[in-house]
Amino acid sequence: MTETHVVVIGMGYVGIPCAALFADVPGFRVTGVQRRSARSGWKIEALNQGKSPFEGDEPGLAELLHRVAVEKRTFRVVEDISVCRDADAILLDVQTPVDGNRIPQYESLREVAAGAGKHMRPGVLVVIESTVAPGTTQHVARPILEAVSGMKAGQDFALAFSYERVMPGKLLEYLIHFPRVVGGIDAESTRRAVQLYGHIVQKEITPTDCLTAEVAKTVENTYRDVNIAFANEMALVCESLGVDVFEVRRLVNARPDRHMHLPGAGVGGHCLPKDPWLLDHGANLYGCKAVSSDLLGVARRINDSMPLHMVDLVEEALRAADKTLDGARVAVLGIAYLENSDDTRNTPAAPMIRGLCERGAAVVAHDPYVRWPDFEALGLQSACGSRLTWTQDLAAALQGADCAVIVTRHSEYLGTALLQAAQSMRTRILVDGRGCIDPQACAAAGVAYHGLGNRRAKNAQ
């Protein structure tokens, strides 16, 4: 059996599970490429020892990594991109953030495209898996790959875009069991990419062109972001009317063809906060006419406003107990942007903590999964100074606090531990930014419950 060598560049939430799955395919060998930086260098050693670098729950990943890196030895991670010289396929999985002006930042993408282009051999298949603005595969990646390699895409090598649908906590499941879209720059590139993913994806793989695939990815996340913004605006409407938005949502979603999303303390992650801007950027840069993306802009603004709205709710809850936010001690529960994960990218907790400190509160930040270096990297110390402390101990976080605010729906907060620990608070107030704590249990524990969207106990008038 001829061996297939796949190189995956970028060992993150997409690159790692993808590389491990291919490495588990008989006849495949996978090399991961990861730049060694102060914060992520340790990942290389951990992966080569078959260990998962993720703190959160990732069903099946640790076992798979051990099998391919230690038992089968079909997966290893290196820093040197020249491993692309004998690759049959090269997958690009690097970060593609946007800057403060919502302009895509492609430094990493350009760098790895140039690095791969320098070493890749004729006949290789290159696939961009990172989410990019529509038009980027053809107008950014392709020219670099061709210029550096001296080869022609569609002639000497194949090039495609194929996006992932993973989420922390569901990395393997969504890679294997979600349908996949593959878009090549030509039919042959599409055919080869469909064939490649056929080795790991157990659902339908839809071939299309690379521009349509790029648009589909950014539209898919923009669709979700806009629907979340709608739910968040309805939470504000319900607060003003004194109606429970979660009850309204339950009634609306009783219709089988309705799916109102969940209002919440904010929208984080590496995807929803920036993909609408990638879509807008691509449409206006490579489109044939200017497009004013009003709706996605409004949705972004609503979702970005929720962390400060949470600060207002904390202030209101304290005022109801004749306390001020200035000088209060607030426990912020959940720093990761998603439940039961350690991922802090664009977390709504950061602007919320900044907002609390700016209004004079002392903040204790708590998260069961996030490590100190990742919390420190949020750079909140400069805004909050000594008024900000960090702990992974829930009881310590609540000790002497005047208010606890739920930002992330971690399982640790859903049990009895939270309300038991709340007994040591100075003022027992809980503000629920995820509609996940039982208001009646709070009442029974002597904790004043305040819910985003005016959530309250069932049948409470």
Q: Name the DSSP letter for residue 139.
A: I
Q: Which is nearer to ligand SAJ, 169 or 400 (CB)?
A: 169
What are the residues whose beta carbons fall under 8 Å from the beta carbon of 398, sequence distance 6 or more? Answer: 331, 404, 418, 421, 422, 424, 425
Distance from C-alpha of 386 to C-alpha of 355, rounded to nearest angstrom: 15
Q: Which is nearer to ligand SAJ, 115 or 264 (CB)?
A: 264
User: Which listed residue (69, 182, 338, 404) binds ligand SAJ by CB under 6 A?
Assistant: 338
The verdict on 355 binding ligand SAJ (CB under 6 A) reads no
List the interface residues with ligand SAJ, window 221-250 (CB under 6 A).
221, 224, 228
Active site residue 271: yes
Distance from C-alpha of 440 to C-alpha of 434, rounded to nearest angstrom: 16
For the bound state, the minimum distance from the C-beta of residue 428 to ligand SAJ, rounded and expressed in Å, comes to 26
Q: Which is nearer to ligand SAJ, 31 or 130 (CB)?
A: 130
The verdict on 166 binding ligand SAJ (CB under 6 A) reads yes
The verdict on 165 binding ligand SAJ (CB under 6 A) reads yes
User: Which of 237-258 are b and which e, b meaning 16 or more Cβ less than 10 Å from the residue's Cβ?
Assistant: ebbeeeebbbbbbeeeeeeeee
Answer yes or no: are the C-beta atoms of 172 and 21 closer than 8 Å. Answer: yes
User: Which listed residue (271, 363, 429, 447) binds ligand SAJ by CB under 6 A?
Assistant: 271
The verdict on 160 binding ligand SAJ (CB under 6 A) reads no
Distance from C-alpha of 84 to C-alpha of 87, rounded to nearest angstrom: 5
Greatest alpha-carbon pair distance for the chain in Å reads 75
Q: How far is CA 114 from CA 90, 151, 255, 460, in A?
A: 12, 13, 51, 62
The verdict on 268 binding ligand SAJ (CB under 6 A) reads yes
Active site residue 357: no
Distance from C-alpha of 389 to C-alpha of 385, rounded to nearest angstrom: 9
Query: Which one is catalytic: 43, 170, 217, 274?
Result: 217
x/- letters, 298..337, toward ligand SAJ (CB under 6 A): ---------------------------------------x
Stretch that binds ligand SAJ, among 83-91, 217-225, 247-255, 420-428 (CB under 6 A): 217-225
Query: Which one is catalytic: 271, 357, 436, 442?
Result: 271
- Active-site residue numbers? 217, 271
